[in-house]
Amino acid sequence: MVPHRLLREQTRDAHDAAEAAPVMRHLLDGTLSRAGYAGLLAAQWVLFRDFERDHAQWLADTVARHGWTWRSRADLLARDVAELGGTLPTEAAVSSRHVVDESASWGMLYVIEGSALGGQLIVRGLRQRFPDAAHRFYGVGDDQGSSWRCFQQILDDVLAEEPAQARAIRGARHMFARFQTTFQDRISHA
């Protein structure tokens, strides 16, 4: 099986669980309040701030060399939160890991870039519900169609070997788990 299909197969359950998270259901069915939406974005800002700090060099060098341009989600999230009148958490960053396993990092990036596909559905509802806001974060996948196929091709190139695929799957599952933790922390604020 080609690596990008393997990643999808091996993380399908994690994706279904992420989609089923209560805060995601509220987001999708239009019952998340403006404050709840801002809070969800602020919580995800922490995740992306840490991811981007830990992977700054890798994103700027390796990922760019493979022809993929990283768009800072932390920047988009910070601007969305400010526009919605929310505040960013002040909690300090916890980890300061260097990228030691590039395959795992590709797996993490797969989860992030893939989530923009679901974002295309989510942003349609958000634009109707909160028409005054720009929805930069959930709108990041607006023009993702052809570029997603490019990203899948990159995954197939960099994860050609079986051990790399196994590490990428672990990285992807780890990233899904980080999202789940972020979502769980939001339930009481929905």
Q: How far is the CB of 188 from ligand HEM (least distance, A)?
A: 19
d(CA 11, CA 136): 26
Cβ nearer to ligand HEM, comparing 85 with 150 = 150
Q: Which is nearer to ligand HEM, 125 or 133 (CB)?
A: 125
Write down the least CB distance from residue 132 to ligand HEM, Å: 22
φ, ψ for residue 186, nearest 5 deg: -90, -15
Output 61 or 156, the one with its CB closest to ligand HEM. Answer: 156
* Contact of 110 with 174, CB cutoff 8 Å: no
> What does the alpha-carbon distance between residue 82 and residue 171 come to, in Å, rounded to a whole number?
31
The residues, ordered by sequence, that sit 6+ positions from 59 with a Cβ below 8 Å of its Cβ are 52, 70
Least gap, CB of 64 to ligand HEM (angstroms): 21
N- to C-terminal Cα separation, the chain: 40
Per-state percent for the chain, helix, strand, coil, to nearest 5: 70, 0, 30
Q: Give me the least distance between CB of 117 and ligand HEM, in Å please.
A: 4
Q: Which is nearer to ligand HEM, 15 or 174 (CB)?
A: 15
Buried b (16+ CB within 10 A) or exposed e, 27-55: bbeeebeeebbbbbbbbbbbbbbbbeebb
Nearest distance in Å: CB 36, ligand HEM = 14
Instruction: For ligand HEM, give the closer residue by CB, 1 or 134.
Output: 1
Contacting residues toward ligand HEM, per CB under 6 A: 7-8, 15, 18-19, 24, 28, 110-111, 114-115, 117-118, 121-122, 176, 179
Tokens of 95: 């980890």
